[in-house]
Amino acid sequence: MLQAIGLTSTPRRNHPPLVDDLTFEARPGSVTALLGEPGSGKTTALRLMLELEPGRGVTYFRGRPLHRIPHPGREVGVLLGDLPGNPSRTVRGQLRMLCAAAGVPAARADAMLEVVGVAGLRDQRLGSLSLGMERRVALAAALLADPCTLLLDEPAAGLSPRERSWLHGLLRGHASLGGAVLFTTDDAKEAARSADRVVSIEAGRLVADQDAAEFARTRLRPRVAVRTPHAARLADVLGREARAAQRTVEIVEESGSRLSVYGSNCAEVGEAAFRHGVLVHQLADETGDAGAQPSLPRARDHAGSEAPDTAAGATPAASAAGGGERARSARTIRPSRSSRPASAVRRLGGPLRPLRYELHRTFGTATPVLTAAFVVAVSVVTALVLARAGHTPQNRLLAAWPELLPLPPAALGAGLLGALAFGEEYRYPALAADRGTVPRRLGLLTAKLGVSAALALLLGALAVTADAAALTLVFGSGPLRTPAEWVSPAASWAGLLIGCAWSGVLASGVFRSASAGLAAVLAVPVMVVPLVRKALDGPSAYPVTGLAERLRGLAWAQWPPEADRVVLGAIRVMAQPVGTALVLSLMVLLCAYGFTGLRGRVRL
């Protein structure tokens, strides 16, 4: 059961709150519609329930608020707006990535595509889907973890009548299995037709909480829609005949050629028009909404006199009856202030299988392959130009790193892939459906660092291999010589690549942007390295000779003396200005990431 108690949004300055002390419930086994005009606070109410908006009040999902549920994705399925996802990702790839986040088997993605009827589109890109197909895929994503509660914001907006019928049938099927369904709409007829209970709000306040049948009886009334070029004459005729027969008939002039007649039927209106020779173009039974409308037409009562402007199809008696019914049906739960926590520890739920999630996210698009191809091509061209010019050390030649560039192409590519690790999360928030932000979990960060480091090493190996092959093919063995010492250059190359990748990951996580992550990678050689070089300039009063032997003596497990070369190589790398700058930058970014993560875990 979903219980929303005292939901109140934080108002802007000199503005009333969009949601004000809203209290209602959505019961299991039933479909509940949250009805209101555009701007009435329906979406804000859903976001308050999901703790995506600051405000007061609490929402219980089967007795627990969302921040006390260990895995909220398994408890609540959410559809807010359009389907979030990279447009170049396939439907199956998107759902399998979400399966890893929810901790369910990957086969669940194909099963849900069958349920929503889009199994044939599993290899289509998200950007090529129509609105109806997007809604079906979004529903499949909401149902992946088999949640008990569904929260859907305007799920039928823009859909055809056939797709609306299918959608509400699916929601009804979920409710029949014991789930609770809450969807928002601004169509009163849709609410009465598709829901078991209708919660009406206006200006963020509760107006009525009624069964669908009771709602239809008090808010919806049958009417006769008439289209005629002589609307005023027909209105006078109907008014005179109603007065003569002492019947209560309300006639609403909705436009110059359209009338809505309440309290009559098609036969009576058609016969009256025939008797008085009034041409009629359309005559049909419809269902009207007796609630408030944006524009109020002029209405006539049964005596034919002008009545005060009221809502379309609402007589004063009907409005009073509806208002009384709403007053009797409105819930009067008034929670004490103790039930509205001023602050709570927010447990941000990350992917339950972070490594699998990160692999799906990374390789679900062609970005890594295209980046690698571009980096290798630029690296080969740069290496050939440097070899032709001469006077370039072999290490820089293989890395395609001229003195004028702050970083080699492979390092920039590694930094770009690292920056996309969190940058794509914030641009296409796959993890934000039930939490609002990308969760700062240690498992997710570790997975992103590990995958980005592996990609950086693979990219560096491809670039060096391609450069060596191109140099040998074009110039023979002239530019290349067998190195006497390769451990230290290899360690330096690997450290540079991994450091750039990790800088991109951490910076994009701190600044929530892939561009900021790549800018942080470029800032290391451009801004940090000169400062470190200036600090390290000059002779040292205490040299560090013999450090490897002393480290071997302090270690629990004694490594062989041959490993001293590896340790010395790593020390030399860290002693270089670029290595020192990377280490310092990574430490600062890691501290900033931890600080912002800890700050986001407390919800005030």
Q: Where are the domains of the chain?
A: 2-203, 220-329, 354-603
Cα 182 from Cα 194, distance rounded (Å): 11
pLDDT at 344: 40
Average pLDDT over residues 162-166: 90
Cα 215 from Cα 85, distance rounded (Å): 38
Does 396 have pLDDT greater than 90? no
pLDDT at 19: 93
Which of 557 and 193 is assigned the larger pLDDT? 193
pLDDT at 346: 44
pTM: 0.74
pLDDT at 222: 79
Q: Which amino acid belongs to residue 245?
A: A
Q: How confident is the model at residue 304 (pLDDT cuts 50, 70, 90)?
A: very low
Alpha carbons within 13 angstroms on the beta-carbon side of residue 497 total 29
Share of the chain above pLDDT 70, in %: 77
Cα 391 from Cα 389, distance rounded (Å): 7
Average pLDDT of the chain is 80
**Class in CATH terms, 2-203:** alpha beta
Cα 446 from Cα 435, distance rounded (Å): 20
Does 139 have pLDDT greater than 80? yes
Nearest to 396 by CA among 147, 385, 25, 226: 385
| Three-state secondary structure of 432-494 | CCCCCCCCCCHHHHHHHHHHHHHHHHHHHHHHHHHHHHHHHHHHCCCCCCCCCCCHHHHHHHH
Does 481 have pLDDT greater than 80? no
pLDDT at 324: 36
pLDDT at 43: 92
pLDDT at 290: 52
pLDDT at 539: 62
pLDDT at 432: 62
Domains 2-203 and 220-329 share a fold: no
Residue 434 neighbours by CB distance under 10 Å: 26
**CB-based burial label for 388 (10 Å; 0-12, 13-18, 19+):** exposed
Cα 197 from Cα 209, distance rounded (Å): 7
Give φ, ψ of 378 to 5 degrees: -65, -40
Average pLDDT over residues 215-227: 82
Average pLDDT over residues 165-176: 92
Q: How confident is the model at residue 392 (pLDDT cuts 50, 70, 90)?
A: confident
pLDDT at 587: 82
Residue 2's SS3 state is strand
Does 2 have pLDDT greater than 60? yes
Does 303 have pLDDT greater than 60? no
Tell me the C-alpha to C-alpha distance, in Å, between residue 457 and each of 410, 440, 463, 521, 582. 9, 25, 10, 16, 16
Which of 157 and 92 is assigned the larger pLDDT? 92
Cα 314 from Cα 288, distance rounded (Å): 9
Average pLDDT over residues 545-564: 58
Q: Are strands 250-255 and 76-79 parallel, antiparallel or unpaired?
A: unpaired
Average pLDDT over residues 51-74: 88
Does 313 have pLDDT greater than 50? no
Alpha carbons within 13 angstroms on the beta-carbon side of residue 357 total 23
Q: How confident is the model at residue 345 (pLDDT cuts 50, 70, 90)?
A: very low
Which secondary structure element, helix H or strand E, spans residue 550, and what is its range? helix 547-554
The model's pLDDT over 448-462, given as tens digits with 9 standing for 90+, comes to 999 999 999 999 999
Q: Do residues 551 and 567 lie in contact, with contact meaning Cβ atoms separated by under 8 Å? A: yes
**Residue matched to tokens 């063995």:** 477
Residue 270 neighbours by CB distance under 10 Å: 15
The model's pLDDT over 125-134, given as tens digits with 9 standing for 90+, comes to 998 988 889 8
Tell me the C-alpha to C-alpha distance, in Å, between residue 60 and each of 26, 89, 274. 10, 35, 60
Q: How confident is the model at residue 546 (pLDDT cuts 50, 70, 90)?
A: low
Q: How confident is the model at residue 214 (pLDDT cuts 50, 70, 90)?
A: confident
pLDDT at 329: 37
CATH architecture of 220-329: 2-Layer Sandwich (3.30)
Q: How confident is the model at residue 586 (pLDDT cuts 50, 70, 90)?
A: confident
Average pLDDT over residues 256-270: 86
Which secondary structure element, helix H or strand E, spans residue 218, and what is its range? helix 212-219
Q: How confident is the model at residue 11 (pLDDT cuts 50, 70, 90)?
A: confident
Q: Do residues 204 and 16 lie in contact, with contact meaning Cβ atoms separated by under 8 Å? A: yes
Share of the chain above pLDDT 90, in %: 38
Nearest to 113 by CA among 133, 131, 86: 133
Does 583 have pLDDT greater than 50? yes
Average pLDDT over residues 435-439: 53
Distant-in-sequence, close-in-space partners of 87: CB < 8 Å, separation ≥ 6: 125, 126, 127, 128
Q: How confident is the model at residue 415 (pLDDT cuts 50, 70, 90)?
A: very high
pLDDT at 603: 40
